[in-house]
Amino acid sequence: MSGLNLELEVFRNIFLSIADEMGIVLRRTAFSANIKERLDFSCAVYDRHAETIAMGDHMPVHLGAMPFSVAEALRSHTIDPGDIVILNDPFRGGTHLPDITSVSAVFTADDPEPAYYLATRAHHADVGGMSPGSMPLAREIYQEGLRIPPVKLFRHGEIQNETLDLILANVRTPEERRGDLAAQVASHRIGERRLLAATEKYGHGRISRQMDALKDYTERMMRVRLQGIPNGEYDFEDFLDDDGFGSPPVRIHCRLTICGDRALVDYSGSAQQQRGGVNANLSITVAATMYCFRCLIDDDAPFNAGLLRPIEVLTKPGSVLDAQPPASVAAGNVETSQRITDTLLGALQKALPEKIPAASAGTMNNLSLGGIDPLTGLPFAYYETIAGGMGARPTADGMDAVQNHMTNSLNTPVEALEHLYPLLMRRYAVRRGSGGEGKYRGGDGVIREFEFLTETDFALLSDRRQTRPYGSQRGQPGQPGQNLLNGNPLPAKGHFSAGTGDRLTIKTPGGGGFGREREMEP
């Protein structure tokens, strides 16, 4: 790797392999389809300062926001050997309530202070609230599910049954939650063993120096990239369709200022906090910003805390990008994060018109559902995001049917879905023609049609049903998405009921096109 010496590259891969192995253990030991099949989780390694050193190849919206959870856990508790702190409170380091974060410290034999920290974040398919799957269209956070401040799930290696019992008493699928929490604990155990083994081999001092050097290296790479962007101010705005309660389109505004090797990203012109759950907290806004700037670096730069050192993020407290209690936030993590990405990339397009792609689908097309399984007589709850079209690139068409930007998950395989839940998948196909035209075409979205085999409540949190993914350099926008129940249109966001035999069809947006439409070929 250019500019990265051999020793630093070796240690970089040691840290990455630990985060990746934590993810493998979490996936293999989890109970829910959302984690085992969709990979809706993330793992990361932090240094003695609780700054990010290595992230697994997991979800950008998780990874950029997790340092806020680690910091809040440390503010709230002294983390001793064998302790694991969990939290999901969006106003104390979390994102939205289904994302439960776990934090632990790693101690070496000769130091009473933590040498490293570890964190995992997993999207739990149900954490209570007003609808199965805990992704409702709500007016306040109290309706969205169980809100967990930083609390110790393990203390000195012993599980705190009172904490666990409180959580399990407030969810629809307690055994699945127990299994997924245990999987997060197992992930911490393997991460701790691997860090201690590396410390025994190389020494804590040497590892700490390499961790500091990795952050410095990433900072240098980011500064060099920023110097390659013309100085100036670049404004862009985009919109969410609505907040789910009849609001006008919700403005997301970015003013990007580039000055030498520094960047200022000012979102304070965005709309005020909304009634519906499209509100994002500061950690989500920072995560989306971090992701966009990482994408600018051509080389395989280490993704760590050094990336943000030359970048300042400004928000307005009480706005849709820096929501305050008791705002509902379920869609902020999944929908608003996508629009932040679209908006910042739109501003970067003005600075780098031949480098930045057109807008991708711009929505995670969230579906959560549940009811009583007629085979077992027990409650079930399920959640998924659905892929869309990638925006066309400056030199190539966009990809069809992929998870874009802030999500890096998968669609649940049909076989797993039908095996685990009272559902049939009647259609699963690429939505041909939904990508925007241009010299390079936007990728096509997806058509996913479910048949319910029992009475089911479901919630939709989707977007780009009114607004369209923008094209770039005179390329055409992608087609908007559509939600249908038995062929009848449904709103982008809402809570609904279905009977046995009813069919839900979700058609996801395509990506925007890039460049003027190509000439007709003979």
How confident is the model over 27-82, as pLDDT tens digits? 999 999 999 999 999 999 999 999 999 998 777 788 788 999 999 999 999 999 99
- Given a cut of 70, whether residue 2 has pLDDT beyond it is no
In a domain, 135, yes or no: yes
Report, as an integer, the average pLDDT of 473-490.
Answer: 98
Total Cβ atoms within 10 A of residue 484: 14
* Cis amide leading into 491 (omega within 30): no
In degrees, rounded to 5, the angle at the alpha carbon of residue 479 between the alpha carbons of residues 477 and 483 is: 150
Give me the amino acid identity at 203: G
Q: What is the pLDDT of residue 348?
A: 98
Q: Look up residue 219 and give its two tokens.
A: 């900072």
Structure tokens at 513: 């096109």
- For 141-148, what is the mean pLDDT? 98
Residue 347 lies in a domain: no
The residue range of the domain holding 127 is 8-217
Q: What is the mean pLDDT of residues 275-301?
A: 94
Is 28 among the domain residues?
Answer: yes
Q: Could you tell me if residue 165 is inside a domain?
A: yes
Q: pTM value?
A: 0.95
**pLDDT of residue 522 exceeding 50:** no
Of 293-302, 326-335, 460-469, which range is least confident? 293-302
- Considering only CA atoms, which of 462, 428, 453 is closest in space to residue 503? 453
- Measured from the Cβ of residue 415, the count of other Cβ atoms closer than 10 Å reads 10
In the chain, the amino acid numbered 185 is V
d(CA 122, CA 101) in angstroms, rounded, equals 7
- As a residue count, the chain comes to 522
Among the candidates 217, 243, 271, a domain finishes at 217
Does 311 map to a domain?
no
The domain boundary residue, chosen from 190, 217, 244? 217
Cα distances (Å, whole numbers) of residue 284 to 66, 229, 334, 469: 9, 25, 9, 21
Task: Answer whether 358's CB lies under 8 Å from 436's CB.
Answer: yes
Closest to 271 (Cα-Cα) out of 312, 311, 237, 233: 237
The span from the CA of 392 to the CA of 441, in Å, is: 5
The structure tokens listed for 213 are: 């050097």
pLDDT higher than threshold 60 for residue 360: yes
Picking from 201, 217, 233, the residue at the C-terminal end of a domain is 217
**Percentage of residues in the chain with pLDDT exceeding 70?**
98
Instruction: Tell me the β-bridge partners of 99.
Output: 123
Q: At what angle do helices 161-168 and 174-202 cross, to 10 degrees?
A: 140
389 neighbors 447 (Cβ within 8 angstroms): no
Residue labelled with tokens 């990979």: 39
310 vs 68, 117, 255, 263, 281, CA distance in Å?
18, 24, 16, 6, 22
Banded pLDDT at 4 (limits 50, 70, 90): low
Looking at residues 285-300, what average pLDDT do you find? 93
Q: Is residue 198 part of a domain?
A: yes
pLDDT number for residue 253: 98
What is the rounded average pLDDT of the residues 450-469? 98
pLDDT higher than threshold 50 for residue 1: no
518 pLDDT above the threshold of 90: no
331 falls within a domain = no
Measured distance CA(299)–CA(160) in Å, rounded: 45
Q: Looking at residues 382-401, what average pLDDT do you find?
A: 97
Which amino acid would we find at residue 358? A
Please, are residues 388 and 363 in contact by the beta-carbon 8 Å criterion?
yes
CA atoms 131, 133, 136, 141: torsion sign: positive
Strands lying side by side in the sheet with 456-461: 379-384, 366-372, 456-461, 493-498
Tell me the mean pLDDT in the region 446-464. 98
The residue ranking higher by pLDDT, 220 or 302, is 220
What does the mean pLDDT of the chain come to?
95
Query: How far is it, in rounded angstroms, from Cα 295 to Cα 484?
Result: 35
How buried is 375 (Cβ within 10 angstroms: 0-12 exposed, 13-18 middle, 19+ buried)?
exposed
Output the six-digit token pair for 428. Answer: 């699963």
On the question of pLDDT at 221 being above 90, the answer is yes
Count of domains observed in the chain: 2
Q: Are 107 and 291 in contact (CB under 8 A)?
A: no
Is residue 476 situated within a structural domain? yes
